[in-house]
Amino acid sequence: MCSVATAARLRYAVPMNLLDRISIQPTICHGRPCIRGTRVLVSVILDNLAAGHGFDEVLASYPSLVRDDLRAALAYAAELAHERTVALSA
């Protein structure tokens, strides 16, 4: 659940319906975030994009996805970055 401040920030940064594409259900993919209506994990999309694969390449690999699904995965990751930090080695 997003805080009020987080929801306000997202309202201006990301179309509100974009994050509706992300689903987190305990009975699907062990509760890990995935694209709604699929079993494609958000982390898999992000891994592919981080590895340098472009949107078109990812979409070709996962034909059930559309461009807004990839944008939703990025928006979800951005929201996590606002809320949490990950220790990086120096």
Express each pLDDT in 6-30 by its tens digit. Answer: 555 554 556 657 889 999 999 999 9
pLDDT of residue 55: 98
Categorize the per-residue pLDDT at 89 as very low, low, confident or very high, splitting at 50, 70 and 90.
confident
Q: Which two tokens stand for residue 79?
A: 């929201």
Give the domain ranges of the chain: 4-83
**C-alpha to C-alpha distances, 53 to 19, 24, 32, nearest whole angstrom:** 22, 25, 22
pLDDT digits (tens, 9 = 90+) for 53-84: 999 999 999 999 999 999 999 999 988 888 77
Domain 4-83 has CATH 1.10.10.10: yes
